[in-house]
């Protein structure tokens, strides 16, 4: 009899789900709306219902489902308990127990950035590696750390929260977290825009950046065209991020950094600027660490969630 | 029949050994000289001989020894292979296989800073915790990271090499590693002396530090006596180390930092200065991380080495 796995990525707007076979191939991918009202009380029952409906539709016996992996936007401890997921309306919730009771199928749960890292290791930019740090340069800067093929959770689920490593002790503006000079202030999508606008204001150089709406892709496209101001900004971006990754390497000694999120749409050129400063700052034992772009995009979560329960 | 464990800490001058019983109590502790000549070819045979002699002396049957744990000053991978231990004269050496063949007893091997961390978790300043970062402020700055009770090794044995995290991008002098502004330049025993001498030269303030040979203990004793210049130096020390530990917490989210090495002889006052800056820099999820002093001193290695094989 064939065996199956499910990966579930719970976001603030939609829940993404994936059904996998025993070869680890995705058979079907679908979404439902995340109902965050009433402290998100309906979310897990809705997830259970759509999974059970899918099993009926596919004529899959519940006994043939090995497990369901779930990622959520919050700190999840090693027992599958989340401690506050603001975007879902949740306080403390035992996801593993609640959902496994609803489904009568084994469940594992973890933080969404961590499962995305696991997904990239399994089927994405980190394929072939067992020790990686995934860096998501999105609205904020998130991270997920995989050690010997397993998620590094930390004592209260906050391992890999690398967006708030301080990289500039001279910064005068505060990060959303309240501290000044966090990596997120320079390397997130909003951080790149902020950094670019600052340079456009302070510098009189002509630049094609003055004529367009700024994104990381626009910035790095300008770099490719030889725009001098864009190069200055890209260097500063690379310096902060490269230095931060050098510190992280000194702590966990990974094989590869996998860079994803909206900013990574700028492409391979991004890695050039990061690696330049990384190599200048890093301890020699980590000088040969690889760099790769993430490739699964928004599907990294469902892949990683399934991988958590994949035997 | 009683069961036994051995912990071995191989240093550049002496090899420390400890014999433990099945309750984890140390029964005997002894040392032999480390013979580093001829690329340290005699070291493991000497270790095997002293262990076998001890078992004969104590009338312990080899079958009752569950295992021997070994720590060495070099990067050791998860298979127990060291890649260069300069202080021992070793290149690449499979410690686990070589010593277990000589002894006919199971062997595990790891880096000495990592086993010291494990020792402090088991019987020292980190007792009761399963996720800790041990920081050794000695000649250099070393570190060992324990996750869920196990050593974090990293892909080539360099996890926890936190002494070369860059903390001052304005530094003009190079660290021994070749990079400028490493934590080790300020927080090691030599780093504290360097920092103190720099302030004594640049600053005209009267200070009792001008009359004594500088050590971390002398510095912090002067702080306790209200010496203004000593306080300035202690603040700078605390700022670099506190900021570095905040970055490390953002990566691995530990329960506790255990601070050891010669510099930690300054006592609890050291922690006050570290924690002040740690709290200012750290992501909120890590704000309540505990700080403790190491308590096993030079015995941390044999305890941790034994713990590696302790069931």
What is the DSSP track for A218-281?
HHHHHHHTT-HHHHHHHHHHHHHHHHHHHHHHHHH--SEEEEESGGGGG-HHHHHHHHHHHHHH
pLDDT in tens, B141-167: 999 999 999 999 999 899 999 999 999
Backbone region of residue A49 per phi and psi (left: phi > 0; alpha: psi in -120 to 50; beta: other values) = alpha
pLDDT band at A133 (very low <50, low <70, confident <90, very high): very high
Mean pLDDT score of chain B: 96
**Does B311 score more than 90 pLDDT?**
no
pLDDT band at A139 (very low <50, low <70, confident <90, very high): confident
Q: Pick the residue of A163, A171, A185, A285 with the most B CBs within 10 A to test the interface with B by mutation.
A: A285
User: Residue B1: what pLDDT?
Assistant: 75
- The neighbour count for residue A35, using CB atoms within 10 Å, is 15
Give SS3 for A125: coil
pLDDT in tens, A177-216: 899 999 999 999 999 999 999 999 999 899 999 998 999 9
Give SS3 for A198: helix
The closest of B51, B60, B56 to B21, measured between CA atoms, is B60
Minimum-distance CB partner of B281 among A154, A179, A280: A179
Encoding tokens for residue B87?
Answer: 């202080």
pLDDT in tens, A111-123: 999 999 999 999 9
pLDDT in tens, A42-68: 999 999 999 999 999 999 999 999 999
pLDDT in tens, A288-302: 999 999 999 999 999
Contact A164 B283 (CB under 8 A): yes
Interface pTM (ipTM) of the complex? Answer: 0.93
Number of Cβ pairs closer than 8 Å across A and B? 116
Contact B161 A283 (CB under 8 A): yes
- With 0-12 / 13-18 / 19 or more C-beta atoms within 10 angstroms meaning exposed / middle / buried, residue B276 is middle
User: Residue A92: what pLDDT?
Assistant: 95
In chain B, which residues touch A (CB < 8 A)? 75, 78, 130-131, 145, 147-148, 152-162, 164-166, 169, 177-179, 243, 246-248, 250-255, 280-281, 283-286
pLDDT in tens, A230-289: 999 999 999 999 999 999 999 999 999 999 999 999 999 999 999 999 999 999 999 999
Residue A193 DSSP one-character state: H
CB B219 within 8 A of CB B266: yes
Rounded-to-integer distance, Cα B116 and Cα B299, Å = 8
Which chain A residues contact residue B251 at CB under 8 A? 145, 159-160, 162, 165, 247-248, 251-252
* Average pLDDT, integer, range B197-211: 94
Which chain B residues contact residue A180 at CB under 8 A? none
pLDDT in tens, B52-96: 999 999 999 999 999 999 999 998 999 999 988 988 999 999 999
* Residues 6+ away with beta carbon under 8 Å from B103: B48, B51, B52, B62, B68
User: Residue A311: what pLDDT?
Assistant: 82
- The neighbour count for residue A128, using CB atoms within 10 Å, is 9
């Amino acid at each position: 009899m064939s065996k199956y796995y499910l990966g579930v990525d719970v976001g603030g707007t939609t829940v993404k789900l994936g059904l996998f076979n025993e070869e680890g191939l995705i058979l079907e991918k679908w979404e439902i709306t995340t109902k965050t009202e009433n402290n998100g009380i309906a979310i897990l029952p809705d997830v259970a219902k759509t999974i059970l409906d899918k099993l009926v539709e596919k004529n899959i016996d519940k006994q043939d489902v090995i497990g369901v992996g779930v990622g959520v936007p919050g700190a999840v401890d090693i027992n599958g308990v989340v401690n506050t997921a603001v975007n879902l309306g949740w306080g403390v919730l035992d996801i593993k127990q609640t959902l496994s009771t609803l489904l009568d199928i084994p469940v594992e749960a973890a933080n969404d950035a961590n499962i995305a890292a696991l997904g990239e290791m399994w089927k994405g930019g980190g394929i072939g590696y067992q020790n990686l740090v995934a860096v998501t340069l999105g609205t904020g800067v998130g991270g997920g750390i995989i050690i010997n093929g397993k998620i590094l959770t930390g004592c209260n689920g906050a391992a890999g929260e690398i967006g708030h490593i301080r990289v500039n002790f001279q910064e005068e503006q505060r990060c959303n977290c309240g501290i000044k000079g966090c990596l997120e202030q320079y390397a997130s999508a909003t951080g790149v825009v902020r950094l670019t606008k600052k340079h456009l204001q302070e510098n009189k150089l002509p630049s094609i950046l003055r004529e367009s709406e700024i994104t990381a892709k626009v910035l790095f496209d300008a770099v490719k065209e030889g725009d001098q101001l864009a190069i200055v900004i890209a260097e500063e971006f690379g310096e902060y991020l490269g230095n931060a990754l050098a510190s992280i390497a000194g702590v966990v000694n990974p094989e590869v950094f996998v860079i994803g999120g909206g900013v990574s749409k700028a492409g391979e050129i991004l890695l050039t600027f990061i690696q330049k400063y990384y190599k200048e700052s890093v301890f020699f034992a980590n000088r040969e660490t690889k760099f790769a772009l993430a490739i699964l995009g928004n599907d990294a979560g469902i892949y990683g969630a399934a991988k958590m329960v994949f035997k």
